Amino acid sequence: MLRPAVLVLAAAGLAGPSLAADNNAAIQRQIAKLDPQTRMEQRCNGKAMGSISREKKGMAPDELVAYAFADTVKSEHAMKAPGAAFRSKGKWYHLSYTCHTTDDNLSIISFDYKVGAVVPRSEWSGHYLVP
């Protein structure tokens, strides 16, 4: 299964300017090897985590499940994740996002998201959310 390794690649790109710059070319090469739909999902999930980290004070996403509360909807170069969730500082939060990519699914053209409420711990196991 590729997902854990790819999530590590996405997280490495969010680690900080110097580490991100050092690893950017290697990360891009690895992402380019993925099938187009997986590539799009990883790029969009990475964009979500990066945007939340930069734009939502006090949040530091370290995990994201795009299909936690609803299936994702994908076309060739677009993805909607109406029932996503992300973990920040040990808590899971509801998330929805819409993402459009370039023809090679390597770059994001547009991205919109909304952070929702905290997910109660009693719901975690039923939605692929880990402590």
Instruction: Show me where the domains of the chain are located.
Output: 3-127
- Asked if residue 28 lies in contact with residue 90, where contact means CB atoms within 8 angstroms, the answer is no
DSSP state of 81: E
pTM confidence score? 0.81
Residues 42-77 pLDDT 10s: 999 999 999 999 999 999 999 999 999 999 999 999
Given the structure tokens 């710059």, which residue do they identify? 21
Helix (H) or strand (E) holding 77, with range, is: none
User: Distance between CA 93 and CA 24 in Å, rounded?
Assistant: 28
Where does the pLDDT of residue 19 fall: very low under 50, low under 70, confident under 90, or very high at 90 and above?
A: very low
Rounded (5°) CA angle 51-76-26: 55
CA distance 51 to 111: 9
State the pLDDT confidence band at 28, using cuts at 50, 70 and 90: confident
According to CATH, the topology of domain 3-127 is Nuclear Transport Factor 2; Chain: A, (3.10.450)
